[in-house]
Structures are given as C-alpha cells and as structure tokens.
Amino acid sequence: MKAPRQSPATKKVVGIWIRVSTEDQARGDSPKHHEMRARAYAESRDWIVREVYDLAGVSGKSIADHPETKRMMEDVRTGRIQALVFSKLARLARNTRELLDFADFFQKQGADLISLQESIDTSTPAGRLFYTMIAAMAQWEREEIADRVRATVHLRAKSGKPINGRLAFGYHYHEGKIQPHPGEAPIRALIYELFAEHGRKKRVARLLSERGFRTRAGKLFTDSTLDYLIRDPTAKGEYQANYTRMVGNNKVRGQKPEHEWVVTEVKPIVSKELWEQCNGLLDARKASLARRPGARAVHPFAGYVFCHCGAKMYVGTRTPKYVCEKCRNKIPIIDLDSLFHDQLTGYLMSPEKAAEYVNSAGQFIADKVALLESLKAELNKTKEEGEKVFQLYYDGGLTAEQFKVKYAPIDTRRVQLEEEIPKAEAHVTAARVDGLSAEQIIADGRNVHNRWTLMTPDEKRHIVELLVNQIVVKPDEIDINLCYKPSFEEFTKRQRKE
C-alpha cells in the first residue's frame, strides 16, 4: 500500500530515527539529545511525531535486517508515517547501498527522508541528488577509517598493545603490557597440568567445574574452551597477533600469511615442555578420532625408538627385537633395556640434576600457593554475589522463585569452592613435606636405578614416558636422548608410589 501524499490541509506525520554508536555515547553524544533535536525540528515545521525508532548502540555498517528497521519500513509502507527525520546521513546508515535502497524505497512509497545536519529533504530533486552524493561520501569516510585502523594494527601488535579486545583467559593488560593475571594464571596453569595427567578435555572440564572454577564470564569450562586455551601459545610465552582476518560477511575467520603475524615475547604461565606435551596430546587425539584407541604399548620403549634412517622401529610378534621396516636395522629388546639402565646412573644421580629438582620444587610450591590464593579470592567474590542477590530479594526486588533461580548456581559454586580450598591447602602442605634435598634426590635416583631390573613393563614404561625424548639406533651406537628433566610433581608422585 502506497502512503498517501500530504494535502495542504493535513499535517505531515513523521518518525524519528535514532542511531548513536556506543563510542559516541561514551563521549557524551546521547540518543536523548538526538531525539530532542528531531522533535524540535518537527515542531518548527508543525509536523506530528508518531514513532521513534531507536537503534542506539547499533553499528551503521549494515542495519537492513534490524527489527527497528523493518518496523520503520512497514510503517512507511502502510502510511503510518510519511517521512523519517534523522540527525545526519551517517546516523541512518554508513553503507552506500543501503542508503540508496532507502532512498528508492521512500520515493516509491511517496515518503521523504529528512537529514537535519545536511539539510536534505528528498521531496525535492535537489535533495535527492544531494542525498546520493552525501551517501557516497559516508561510505568513503567509513572505508578511510577502516584503512587507518588496519594500518596501525601491525604497529600496535608489535608493541604489545591491544588490537582485538580482551586477552585470553590467564592474561591481562597491566601498565600497558601483557602480563599473567594474578587470579586467572594459576587456573590456566592447572588446565595444562590436568590435561597432561588425564588427556581428555571433557574430563578436565568436569574436574574444573567440580572444584568451583569458572571462566572469566562466570560460566562452566567446556571442551571447546579448553581446546582454545591449550592451543593458545601465549601460555608458553609467545603472544600471537595480527594473524587472522574476517572473510566474506564477517562470519568466517581466515588466516593471514605467516609473514604478517606478530609474535611478542611475554611472561609464560607454563613451561614450553608442558605446553608442547599437551598440544601433542591434542594432535594425537585429533589424528585418532576415526579409530578406536589401541591397546597400551606392551614394550617400555614402544613409540620412542627410531632408526638412523628416520623410520620408527617396532617389535614384531615373532621377534624379540626392535626392527626398522624400511632398512631392516635391528636391536634386541634386552640390549636396549640394558643400555638405558646404564644411562640412568648419570642422569638420576648427578648433583647438577639434583639441583634442578630442588629449584623446580620451589617453583612448584609457589604455583600451588598462587592457585590456593586464587581459589580464596573466588570464594570471597562468590559470597559477595550471594549477598547481593539475597539483599535484592530482601528489598523486594526479586520474587521467591526468581531468588531461587539466581541464588542456586551461586550457592552451588560456593560449596564447590569451600570443598576445593582444603584440598588445595593439603596439596601445598604435601608439596612442602615432599620437598626433597639434593641428597634425597640422588638417593632416590639410585633407588630407581637399582630397582629397574625388578620393575614390571608398566612401571618401566612410566619411567620412559617421564625421561625419554627419543632413542635413535645407529649401526655402531645408540643415542638415548633424555628430556631436560621430569617435573618435580611427577618425581614426588613416583617416589610416593614406590
């Protein structure tokens, strides 16, 4: 239905369009001010204001599908309003195509567009021409701003300044630099420790929830969230920026060429070894999704033995040897076991390695203390939230049913945190009690060495997983490459078990 044109005896019925960006509102440019200006103009023209279309805080990039836009267009279609008044073209929309579509739509419906700042009235030919010109300028202005922003992204990323909102859980901007968050960093570190131990994201998410831990937004951790956090290299001290871009209609995120990436060195939350261990588990899990998990390796060194030609060596069903299927290089299982046993002597009983364990013990205890403090802070925060909800109910702001809905998850988390804090305190105490001197570590290393021949294959396998990086079998020698060191936590766990 086409809107009827106004006769000289009738007053024009108009609507007011308000769209003020969040940034402009923060600078004091309020939607109310725009509405008052439009109403004053309508009053000076003796027009009747029938509707106000409020899109405060909505981006002008594309507003065609917004509910208020559809309501406005329907009112024009049915003749409810005969004109739309707005502050300036950039407030109507910044997309040239949409501005022109609006102009065509209003012209077909016999309605007018009135821009106050540009003094445009599309009821006149001059107004329609000027509208088209200004619309193109609005689009040009927007593209210019986007170009300037893109030009500064690389420089801001290189200097460690924020370019895309908040940092991942565990980090924040402090004094202009990326720093571990005092409350979140211990939880982020715990995620890696739990995943290294259990190897399943869903199980780690459940353990975190049961212990009362939540995301920055106060929600439960999910396996997809954990996957992102574990993959994020910031935790090992490498903050990556400027490596993705929006593709298409800003719905798909694509990756930029690697030469455009910016990597900034930051303070790590976990060791590089732990980060790589967890990511290796994720990679292995992803590669085996289509297959059923295989049986646990029967041989202690399975998966760690490589031939000098680069191929992995396996133990066949009818041979007591590790064999390279590519070049048929071989080594008897018993010989490899004996060589590894001999190498344990220098590795587990050296004063230098013992000193490393003592240092790692101090860091391990410090990490557990930080986690405990984070738990206590979260408990205090949860109690405060509960008090606020209760006070709101007490003041009559909530019904009994609303109170139950809001208070129940807060109280559940409070109980979880109160249960977890004593456990964390016990872990700290146990770590301090288990703190080993260099002499104890050498003695325990000697014990592991002496018991090697009496261990079961599973016990040997555990030692190999802790200590071995790779074993390379050459024609005349065997290279046993041991890891830098097992963690203090793993070492003390092993001693308690033994």
Report the alpha-carbon distance of residue 15 to residue 81 in Å, rounded.
6
Q: Is the model more confident about 442 or about 96?
A: 96
DSSP assignment letter at 242: S
Query: What CATH number has the domain bearing residue 419?
Result: 1.10.287
Please report where in the chains the tokens 């000027």 appear, as a residue. 130
Residue-wise DSSP of 167-230:
PPTTEEEETTEEEE-TTTHHHHHHHHHHHHHH--HHHHHHHHHHTT---TTSPPP-HHHHHHHH
Judge if 447 and 386 occupy the same domain: yes
pLDDT band at 137 (very low <50, low <70, confident <90, very high): low
The answer to which of 10-19, 302-311, 445-454 has the lowest mean pLDDT is 445-454
Judge if 427 and 453 occupy the same domain: yes
Domains in the chain, number: 3
Identify whether the C-beta of residue 324 lies closer than 8 Å to the C-beta of residue 307. Answer: yes
pLDDT tens per residue across span 389-434: 888 888 888 888 888 888 899 988 888 888 888 877 766 665 665 5
pLDDT of 352: 63
Judge if 316 and 448 occupy the same domain: yes
* Domain annotation covers residue 293: no
Identify whether the C-beta of residue 360 lies closer than 8 Å to the C-beta of residue 489. Answer: no
Judge if 272 and 348 occupy the same domain: no
β pairing state of 313-315 and 321-324: antiparallel
Identify whether the C-beta of residue 281 lies closer than 8 Å to the C-beta of residue 441. Answer: no
Judge if 407 and 484 occupy the same domain: yes
Q: Tell me: pLDDT of 202 over 60.
A: yes
Q: Which of 253, 287, 321 is the last residue of a domain?
A: 287
- The H or E element spanning position 115 is strand 112-115
Q: Percent of the chain scored above 90 by pLDDT?
A: 10
Judge if 253 and 311 occupy the same domain: no
* Domain annotation covers residue 295: no
Query: What CATH number has the domain bearing residue 277?
Result: 3.90.1750.20
* Domain annotation covers residue 165: no
Residue-wise DSSP of 394-413:
HTTSS-HHHHHHHHHHHHHH
* Domain annotation covers residue 4: no
Judge if 251 and 311 occupy the same domain: no
Q: Which of 237, 255, 287 is the last residue of a domain?
A: 287
Q: Tell me: pLDDT of 116 over 60.
A: yes
Judge if 435 and 306 occupy the same domain: yes
Query: What CATH number has the domain bearing residue 70?
Result: 3.40.50.1390
Averaged pLDDT score across all residues of the chain: 77
**Which phi and psi angles does 331 have, rounded to 5°?**
-150, 130
Please report where in the chains the tokens 């289509």 appear, as a residue. 290
Judge if 436 and 331 occupy the same domain: yes
b/e per residue, 127-143, with b = 16+ CB within 10 A? bbebbeebbeebbeebe
Which domain range does residue 187 map to? Answer: 178-287
* Domain annotation covers residue 392: yes
* Domain annotation covers residue 359: yes
Amino acid of residue 443: A
* Domain annotation covers residue 163: no
Instruction: Please tell me the pTM assigned to this model.
Output: 0.46
pLDDT tens per residue across span 328-384: 888 898 888 888 887 776 665 566 655 665 566 667 777 878 888 888 898 899 999
Q: How far is CA 491 from CA 100, 204, 344, 369, in A?
A: 71, 22, 14, 19
Report the alpha-carbon distance of residue 419 to residue 183 in Å, rounded.
19
pLDDT band at 73 (very low <50, low <70, confident <90, very high): very high
Judge if 444 and 382 occupy the same domain: yes
DSSP assignment letter at 312: B
pLDDT tens per residue across span 13-68: 999 998 876 665 555 567 887 888 888 888 888 899 999 998 877 765 667 788 89
Judge if 463 and 344 occupy the same domain: yes
Judge if 490 and 400 occupy the same domain: yes
* Domain annotation covers residue 366: yes
